Structure 1
């Protein structure tokens, strides 16, 4: 937990060892205009990264590590701290350490954009560990392990920065959250590097991937291409439409049957049978048992399949797609919380 700044051991002294006193404030010149202040927005729709296979080229792009967690906006307001999810839900109570750290930032009002993550022993963000710290999908626990990786500043001491270029916003953010800090709010540092080399290095260290951002772009809500994500391993969200039993597997779940969206329908895209651990397998089995149905939500030709209502969204890592539209080398990462507003993969 972030500690408050230590108070000086003695007062500031002048040359005569007397306490320094500020000069009397001069009266404002009536001819001098007041600097206008922008009203603080209640919420800002986040800028989202567009998935690309390769990093972009050119000096107009800067890079960061891609963090695997929950997207959050930290609002520092005159009345206190608010921490909002991507869909706008107030999760302040679920991240007490981040809230405390925000209280000690040297700013009156601000909105920070970033990602709540839990780091593993190698310093990599681990979505499963984050979910576990919050009590799993639908859990109500608060996480004292999560830290906030700040990567943008949208509002700063009365001024809306949305129309400012990324370079300007980052300059102010780095003054507010210095690089190299180890508190509960840390800077997601920009990396000056060749995109291909950085991606190769990220994959070598088993990171999820990298983010590319256009230097001169304002902050635009939505997935418009100002930010790009390039992944080492593909990772997307799919709907569970059924499962297959195995007496030898944890929770007796041998395989989850998955679907993607295609227009208004769901299309079967194969299954996943790896990536479960003891705890999440039994929790998942309990949820599946409560969703059984005799009507499959997608066309699945699997003997012995147990169908469920399409209510659970799962995050899956995979290497590629087969020619007939099925996932290759899929691995289970965890259930997405419906409050995280995860987007289900859309088939072309």
Structure 2
């Protein structure tokens, strides 16, 4: 496993060619709830499991009907315009209609998917890749109840042979041998692996038929406030939390992993969301004393060493803001 010329005319909902031959034979597939993985540290064994690389990018559904393409984020937002660099091969993929699940990524010089590069790439229009790993609909036929292995076989046939530098790629897998795949991913500096039951259907919810095993501890947190720098300008750290039964629980702070440009951009976003009272159920007094509170709308991705017995983070480091994930769905994994 490893990780056009011309100007595109992009409408609010889709891209389309204007010649009569582009009239689609099937309607554009609609957005579906994503199937989500359950975090575990146990690698399943047996020939009924498939193992894929865990990508460090934006999960996306791509709906295609002829040359019409819509790219949906995890929360169902239309981000076709943001991901216009991947559209040309998708517009040429089929004369029919398909709904594909996959991940949009940026690849660094080491061949690894890199979330920070992805954020920069989106803003600058740099090359990105779309790794397709599931086929949910094909020419009006719902495939979600078919076994995963059958769906992936049809997806691979649809995509055909792809050169390594193509921006549209098939996410390959290995049957069984999960430990070997995991060790190879971790040694290569990748995020981890995804384990999926070969016979699993696509239920559009979190399931134990799909598992994620990470090389490092990493997850999303809701930003509920920040501590200003000692000068009173800028940001020293973000105050983080996760939801539990609808209540925002304090999980700690993160003050490393930021560039100066990141801090400036994040502070601008935070200042627009300032509120008087903390959004958390409770916060340690020494943290609350100098905190500035914000509406819990932003989501930060953070790596950390462990969660302490009292539920706080040890050695957290900021990785990036997640605009594709709704804050009210962020829970401790």
| TM-score under structure 2 length normalisation | 0.84
Shift in CA distance, 347/101, structure 1 to aligned 2, threshold 3 Å: closer
Deviation at 1:253, TM superposition (A): 2.0
Structure 1 residue 248: Cα displacement: 8.2
Alignment-derived partner of residue 181 in structure 2: 198
- Residue 180 of structure 1, CA deviation: 5.2
**Residue from 310, 318, 325 that aligns with 1:332:** 318
Report the Cα distance in structure 1 between the residues aligned to 2:70 and 2:39, rounded to whole angstroms.
Answer: 29
- Equivalent residues of 1:98, 1:147 under 8 A apart: yes
- Per the TM alignment, residue 156 of structure 1 is displaced from its structure 2 partner at its CA by 2.2
Unaligned 5+ runs, structure 1: 4-36, 136-140
Could you tell me how far apart the structure 1 residues matched to 2:265 and 2:197 are?
41
Structure 2 unaligned residues grouped into runs of 5+: 7-24
Cα distance, 1:62 vs structure 2: 0.7
| Equivalence map 1:1-348=2 (5 Å) | 1=4, 41-78=29-66, 80-135=68-123, 143-178=125-160, 181=163, 182-192=165-175, 194-247=177-230, 252-298=234-280, 299-300=282-283, 301=285, 302=287, 303-337=289-323, 339-341=324-326, 344-347=329-332
CA-to-partner distance for each residue in 1:141-196, whole Å, 9 max, x for gaps?
7x442211000111223432212111111111111224653211111111245212
CA displacement 1:38-73 (0-9 Å, x = unmatched): 986422222111111121111110100011111111
Q: By percentage of residues, which structure has more strand?
A: 2
Alpha-carbon distance in structure 1 between the residues aligned to 2:122 and 2:268: 18
Instruction: Report the count of equivalent residues.
Output: 307
Following the alignment from structure 2 to structure 1, what is the Cα–Cα distance between the partners of residues 209 and 112?
25
Between 148-157 and 41-50, report the one with greater CA deviation. 41-50
* Rg (Cα) greater in structure: 1
Please state whether the residue corresponding to 2:319 is helix, strand or coil.
strand
Q: Distance in 1 between matches of 2:226 and 2:326?
A: 23
CA 234–2 in structure 1, closer or farther in 2 if over 3 Å, else same: farther
Which SS does the other structure have where 2:46 is aligned?
A: coil
C-alpha separation in 1, matches of 2:5 and 2:39:
34
Please provide the CA RMSD for this pair: 2.5
